[in-house]
């Protein structure tokens, strides 16, 4: 009896349910979608949720690209100087960070393939912040780095891409 009453929620009931029990609200919408009962749906909150999901995925894409690009820049522009000064410096932590971001981006793009269509524009938009981060972390002047991103999406996502000397290309330990 409780389930059948729940199945006949009014729009007001659904709007209240959204505020009090999000999981039940979402489950109810799955049932409404499956049964084709679109007129009964809480469209306003559903649109908010779908929009927020998209924004959340975009923020994750931007965040992961920010760290990846910053560390690839540091690899190209700071690594050679540090490895010349300290023979024992091998960039292992940067390599680990680059590897981690590439893996997380691959998972994100596999789970949300629609993000591939905004990848290039997100790289362009994220690049200035990545330069700022690389500059702050490396203490190299911002002018050290190119004005525009010198890496393609394919390069950034390719496991074996480490700019600079070919001897630095991903010798996994």
Same domain? For 79 and 162 the reply is yes
**Structural domain of 17:** 2-40
Same domain? For 101 and 155 the reply is yes
Residue 23: pLDDT band by 50, 70, 90 thresholds? Answer: confident
Average pLDDT over every residue of 36-42: 84
Q: Provide Rg for the chain, Cα atoms.
A: 23
Q: Is residue 46 part of a domain?
A: no
Q: Is residue 104 part of a domain?
A: yes
Q: Is residue 73 part of a domain?
A: yes
30/112: higher pLDDT? 112
Q: Is residue 173 part of a domain?
A: no
Most confident of 52-61, 79-88, 91-100, 152-161: 152-161
58-62, 137-141, 161-165: the lowest-pLDDT one: 161-165
pLDDT the model gives residue 73: 95
Same domain? For 140 and 67 the reply is yes
Q: What is the pLDDT of residues 51-74, one digit of tens each?
A: 666 788 999 999 999 999 999 999
Same domain? For 86 and 158 the reply is yes
pTM score of the predicted model? 0.70
Residue 86: pLDDT band by 50, 70, 90 thresholds? Answer: low
Contact assessment for residue 101 and residue 71, using Cβ atoms and an 8 Å cutoff:
yes
Average pLDDT over every residue of 128-140: 95
> What is the 3-class SS of the chain, one letter each residue?
CHHHHHHCCCHHHHHHHHHHCHHHHHHHHHHHHHCCCHHHCCHHHHHHHHHHHHHHHHHHHHHHHHHHHHHHHHHHHCHHHHHHHCCCCCCHHHHHHHHHHHHHHHHHHHHCHHHHHHHHHHHHHHHHHHHHHHHHHHCCCHHHCCCCCCCCHHHHHCCCCCCCCHHHCCCCC
Residue 14 reports pLDDT greater than 80: no
Q: Is residue 11 part of a domain?
A: yes
Same domain? For 22 and 74 the reply is no
Same domain? For 137 and 88 the reply is yes
Residue 18 reports pLDDT greater than 90: no
Residue 2: pLDDT band by 50, 70, 90 thresholds? Answer: very low
Q: Report d(CA 28, CA 14) in Å as an integer.
A: 8
| Number of domains making up the chain | 2
Same domain? For 112 and 135 the reply is yes
pLDDT the model gives residue 25: 77
Same domain? For 18 and 98 the reply is no
Same domain? For 120 and 160 the reply is yes
């Amino acid at each position: 009896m409780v389930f059948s009453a729940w199945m006949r929620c009014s729009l007001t009931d659904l709007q209240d349910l959204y505020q009090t029990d999000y999981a039940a609200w979402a489950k109810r919408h799955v049932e409404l979608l499956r049964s084709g009962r679109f007129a009964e749906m809480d469209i306003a909150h559903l649109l908010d949720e779908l929009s927020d999901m998209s924004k959340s995925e975009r923020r994750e894409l931007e965040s992961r690209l920010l760290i990846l690009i910053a560390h690839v820049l540091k690899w190209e522009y700071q690594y050679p100087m540090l490895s010349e000064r300290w023979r024992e410096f091998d960039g292992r932590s940067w390599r680990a960070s680059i590897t981690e971001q590439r893996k997380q981006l691959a998972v994100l793009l596999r789970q949300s393939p629609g993000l591939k269509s905004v990848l290039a524009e997100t790289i362009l938009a994220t690049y200035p912040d990545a330069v700022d981060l690389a500059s702050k972390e490396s203490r190299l002047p911002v002018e050290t780095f190119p004005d525009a991103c010198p890496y393609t999406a394919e390069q950034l996502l390719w496991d074996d891409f480490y700019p600079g000397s070919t001897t630095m290309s991903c010798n996994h330990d």
